[in-house]
Chain A
Amino acid sequence: MKADRPAIRRGLGDPALVGGAFLLALSGIAMIWSAGQVDVPSGVTGAWGRQLTWLGISLTAFAVVVRIPLRWMEWATPWIYGLSVVLLLAVLVIGSGPNTRSWLRLAGFSFQPAELAKLATILLLARWLGGRKEPETRLFGLWKPVLGVFVPFLLVMAQPDLGSAMIFVVILFSALYWAGCPLFTIFMLASPAISLLLGFSAPIWGVWFVVVIVALYVRRPFVAEGISVAIANLAAGALAAPLWHRLAPYQQRRLLVFLDPDVDPQGAGWHLIQSKVAIGSGGLFGQGFGQGPQKRLAFLPEQHTDFIFSVVGEELGLLGVLAFLVLLGWFLRRVLRVAADSPPGFGSLLVFCFFSVWFAHLVINIGMTVGLMPVTGLPLPFLSYGGSFLLTTFVGLALVCRVASEI
């Protein structure tokens, strides 16, 4: 079967996917160049060159990783995972960063261990869940994957980096979903987390709790599971308020301004307001590549990283936005197809997890620029400036292509 496929498919798995990713990364560098075209002296001006260097490094890494057989990868998984946990612990001690301790400096390079941890957690879950013949249906049977995610999740929360921590949750649930876990089991697992979110408002949480109880009554899981879920929901609802106060003030503000940006227009709401103004003033055709006044005059913050898509909106207009959305959507659809076409197991789970993580990044990042999502600082794959994120994205892409080539 492999023999009659062209060499390029054997080597790259899915050449169109690689081409699409390369195109996205190049457009990203173009947007980063534009983001540096400002009337205020700024370090962003040279960022595109550094990103280009990182693209070279990423492509090299891609070329290496895409040649590694999946079996080797599966074997190395626990080691990679162990290394990432050690690095996460290290970053808590010797890390650096503006609000959070998320950057680690090693031999002149600085990178975010959380990026490696995402990769490692995906590998670990794919190994554990993919190794099973039958999907786990019982709640308590999920303790291993839950624990495997919980450790890096907690360590990343401790930095604290809420956005990246959310990605670990996404990894857990997408892996369970793709492994074939019954949706009700996933629901039972997720319900305490939802209780935690809804716990701010007693009436809403009350409604949710009734829904959980009714669902438990109808679906009748094991008694111990049912009781545990009910207790966990109660506990989460009660813990919501104390946990809220444990959040750093900047995180609280970010969540609050998501609900109403005008509570802090000069502070946390500033990002969102300026982003919306930039995007909205772009109109249908945009202000022209490199010409966006909001960006030029430094009203748009983080214009080369978290808010790169606002620059797209301001300068390329709705047409440019739609072009990027279509390209990104096509890319995700293509990744999803690899997951669906490959045999169940380690490889397929791996691909689906990458699909979910990139999808989550896309939703949260682009949703944030238009105010549909809170401002969390998650980068947009391929477009946002950031070396270690680009590198891990291409390493992930290499794994996806390796899976595609082994179909």
Chain B
Amino acid sequence: MTEREATRLSRARRARGAAAGVVVVILILAAAFFRLQVLGVGDFRLQSTNNRLRPIPIPAARGAVTDRHGQLLAESIPGYSISLLPSPEDSARATLERLAPYLGLDDAAVGSLLERRRRQPQLPLRVRDDLSFEQVAAVEERRPQFRAVVIETHPRRRYPGGAAVAHVIGYVSEISQSELDREQFADYSPGRVIGKQGVERTYERVLTGTDGQRHVEVNALGSIVREFPSELAQPAVQGDDLVLTLDLDLQQFTDSIFPPGYRGGVVALDPRTGEVLLLYSHPTFDPNLFVGGISGADWARLRDDPAQPLLNRAAAALYPPGSTWKLVLATLAMREGTAEIGSYMPTSCRGALQFGRRPFRCWRPEGHGALDLSSAIKESCNVFFYQLGLRFGLDAFLAGADALGFNSPTGLDLPGEVSGRYPPDREWYDRRFGRFGWTESVVLNLSIGQGETEQTLLRMVQFYSALATGNPPVVPHLLQSEVLDQVREDWRLDLPEPRRLELVDALTRVVNELGGTAYWHRPRDWTMAGKTGTAQNPHGDPHSWFIGFAPVDNPRIVIAAVVENGHPDNETSRAVPLASQIVSRHLGREGVPVDLPTPPVGPSEIRAPDPRAGAPMPALAPSADRRR
């Protein structure tokens, strides 16, 4: 073998080595492709799909809310919204800045939108959802500038009842970050509309529908290439409708006659079922302002208004119950046998009762003279009830009223209902004022509904509905539901029926007898029973209370009304005419048979001038007496 041949031979080996290298490398590459394309095809197909498909939520319309007669309180109407597809921050910012002039976005709005994009960069960004057709059309005309923009029709909330039902219906708005952080709303995504207040909040899960989803195909730059028909698409499912026990007409009527310039609230129940017929707070606001995001100016106006229009005075405000509380004491005392309807107290009313070193006054400086319990209720004599309270005893009074639920909320299906406040026992006073910081005289104040008792309209109206019917106390509720109609409170009045009727009779005298505190504003056609109240408070004139029910024989409505500072003098009670008119309106609409004979002299002539005039009225019977 020559050297040249040896070289050639070794060259043949080298060639074989190189050829083997080619084969091995190609096999390795083939194996790599096999791994990706056969073993990994499922994962990569999915990834490819995720790459190019963007889910677009189809917002579900919320269910409608109607009143007991089918009148719409809340509905969903079509609105236009503009969203931005997921895109890098820079291009999102540029698009928003180009959109700003067409949609009326200021710098702050752009900033907060970009902040929301940062939190959820993979979801479409809802820019505005309350756009007019003209605004949408302006953007659509400039489509080439706005490739990553989606225009959708979008259900939009509308409240036809407006301000009259604002505190009941509440309102919807975009979910807040703090709500998103709650476990309760773990399945909600940013930008979703959620019930914020009222029934919208309580029944959020019922009203809210299930958002659907569709897909668009986008390219690597985030521009939409086409709609993607996909089996993944889901239609939106509208939320369920709600029927409330409320009567829109009664709400609007109340809104129209509530004394202008005053604050207060009215609640009316059907005492047989606990259905809330009326729940009104004044002043009120237009819930439509909140839909699609309330403007800064509107929000500042509502928030800073000293009249607190957002406060629900019917369920979330506490008032001293004043003389309406006397029936609580009367009920307890009659139940325990401390007093009977014809009982007199040792000291007759001379305008005040001396207890310890100070006099406790009656509202009538010249005094009522000697009264039995029935007349003391009719004329609302404080001196009588001071003595009844003393005789009944502080401990029994505290424990007795506490057992009637005055220390807890009623459980109305509205967010924000507050609990009544009432001292459950002597220890409460010890804690509050110190062991020797208070005296037995607290029972005197408690006896006339002042001092340490503060109640909501709702709680008081519940007590009076139990008194009106003698049935176990109903639970107030807004949702029309036969199940809720049957729910009863745990506590009972435990008042023997004859005793209860005696109290009802006394309450009837309040309204229907000359000298009764509500006589001058009684309803014309129906016998109403009830109790006025004058609640002293540190904010000015006493609050004016009235709680009543009608017709007396078979009550269909129990109403409680408070007009803050509505009792400037003994002549004037703004709550009584308000309640009377509402009761008449309701009974008339319901077709309840008239149970009062038409008097020879028209009641309208007896009746006070239009209460809406706001002028001082010749109101309370005692003052009328005095005038006489």
Could you list which residues of chain A lie within 8 angstroms of chain B, going by C-beta atoms? 39-40, 134-135, 177-178, 180, 274, 276-284, 293-294, 296-299, 313, 317-318, 321-322, 325-326, 328-329, 332-333, 336-337, 339-340, 344, 348, 352, 355-356, 359, 362-363, 366-367, 370-372
Contact = CB atoms under 8 A, between A and B. Distances in A.
A274 B48 CA distance: 8
A348 B7 CA distance: 13
Nearest to A301: B220
Most buried by B among A134, A281, A283, A296: A281
Nearest 3 interchain pairs by C-beta: A280-B44, A340-B15, A281-B48
Contacts, number: 130
A326 B18 CA distance: 16
B217 interface: yes
A313 B37 contact: yes
A275 to B, nearest CB: 10
B258 to A, nearest CB: 61
B44 A276 contact: yes
Given A277-B48, A280-B41, A180 B19 contact: no
A299 B11 contact: no
A92 B187 CA distance: 59
22 contacts: A39-B225, A40-B219, A40-B220, A40-B221, A134-B3, A280-B41, A280-B44, A280-B45, A281-B41, A283-B37, A293-B217, A297-B51, A297-B219, A297-B225, A298-B219, A332-B22, A336-B19, A340-B11, A340-B12, A344-B8, A370-B29, A370-B33
A280 B36 contact: yes
B47 interface: yes
The A interface is mostly helix, strand or loop, or mixed, namely helix
A178 B21 CA distance: 14
B23 A372 contact: no
Nearest to A38: B219
A299 B225 CA distance: 13
A356 B225 CA distance: 44
A276 B43 CA distance: 11
B22 A283 contact: no
B492 interface: no
Contact of B22 (A180, A298, A336, A344): A336
A135 B37 CA distance: 46
Interface string B45-61: 10110011000000000
B220 A298 contact: yes
Contacts of A40: 219-221, 223
Interface residues of B, number: 41
Interface string B9-35: 011101100110111011011101110
A355 B218 CA distance: 43
Contact of A318 (B18, B37, B225): B37
B45 A283 contact: yes
A297 B32 contact: no
A157 B203 CA distance: 70
Nearest to A297: B219
Given A298-B220, A340-B12, A359 B36 contact: no
A286 B11 CA distance: 41
A282 B44 CA distance: 9
A397 to B, nearest CB: 17
A120 to B, nearest CB: 23
B40 interface: yes
Given A336-B22, A344-B8, A39 B219 contact: yes
B9 to A, nearest CB: 11
B11 A344 contact: yes
A5 to B, nearest CB: 21
B12 A180 contact: no
Contact of B37 (A274, A293, A317, A348): A317
B38 interface: yes
Given A329-B22, A362-B25, 14 more contacts: A40-B219, A40-B223, A180-B10, A277-B44, A277-B48, A281-B48, A283-B38, A294-B48, A318-B34, A321-B33, A340-B15, A344-B7, A344-B11, A372-B29
A86 to B, nearest CB: 33
B34 to A, nearest CB: 6
A297 B14 contact: no
A276 B18 CA distance: 29
A355 B22 CA distance: 10
A225 to B, nearest CB: 22
Given A178-B11, A372-B32, A284 B48 contact: no
A297 B22 CA distance: 35
B18 A355 contact: yes
Given A283-B37, A297-B52, A333 B22 contact: yes
Contacts of A296: 219
Nearest to A356: B18
A283 B42 CA distance: 8
A321 B44 contact: no
Contact of A276 (B4, B10, B36, B219): B36
B30 to A, nearest CB: 6
A367 B24 CA distance: 13
Contacts of B11: 178, 180, 340, 344, 348
A315 to B, nearest CB: 12
A91 to B, nearest CB: 31
A325 B19 contact: no
A293 B46 CA distance: 12
B41 A277 contact: no
Nearest to B21: A359
A321 B52 contact: no
B22 A293 contact: no
Nearest to B23: A329
A284 B225 contact: no
Nearest to B4: A344
B47 A281 contact: yes
B8 A177 contact: no
B51 A299 contact: yes
Given A297-B217, A344-B11, A279 B22 contact: no
B18 A280 contact: no
Residue of B8, B15, B225 ringed by the most chain A CB atoms within 10 A: B15
